[in-house]
Amino acid sequence: HGHRYGTRVVHKNMIRGFEITDLKELFEHDRRMTRELIGDHATPYDEDWLRKLTAPNRERYRSYNTLVAADTDNHPIGFAILRIHKRALQLPHRARRGHFVDIFFLSVAPGHQRQGIGSRLIDDAERWAAAQDAVELRLAVMDSNTDAIRFYERNGFEEIGLMRDYPEDGVLSHRMRRRCNPSLLDALDRGMP
């Protein structure tokens, strides 16, 4: 099932699309992350809204995509919720690709952290972004979440600004971006996966 490195067994987890049976676990990830980062007074995402944006036949939320990291039993252990923004960025060398993808939710279950799962979710998010003609990934991370800031920096993100009062009043967040790999964009231009 997995490979042994030292005393830890690293399993071959997969990244797949969202399935309706993943909703309960997604709600739990959202509640846990909100509680850990903001506290008990904060409100997690609205469950009805999460249900709508992850529905397989969603019409209104077509700009969203949810990636799931699953263990060898296909049980969800991580999520990345993405949204394509079709806006023109000033990039003269790729003027036709002015879009970016926002990673507005990234979570890996505590027992599965520090095993590369978050990095794999980001890499798959980049592949999805490139397939949508996006040139970069963006996200916001709270200033108090220094572990996440370092994680994103290790994964090629750079700070592009600060956001005050986000995700709620009195909170300072870093706006970060990672440019999509040019060779990935070129491969897609040539019709390669």
Q: What is the mean pLDDT of residues 5-18?
A: 63
Determine the 3-state secondary structure of 145 from DSSP.
coil
Q: Which residue has the higher pLDDT, 25 or 35?
A: 25
Record the tokens describing residue 60, joined without a space: 């209104």
Q: What are the pLDDT digits (tens) for 138-184?
A: 999 999 999 999 999 999 999 999 999 888 788 899 999 999 887 77
Q: Which residue has the tokens 């300072």?
A: 172
State phi, psi for 5 to the nearest 5 degrees: -125, 110
- Specify the pairing of strand 64-70 against strand 134-142: unpaired
Report pLDDT for 11: 47
Alpha-carbon gap, residue 141 to 183, rounded angstroms: 27
What percent of the chain has a predicted confidence (pLDDT) above 90?
A: 49
Alpha-carbon gap, residue 91 to 94, rounded angstroms: 6
CB 139 within 8 A of CB 152: yes
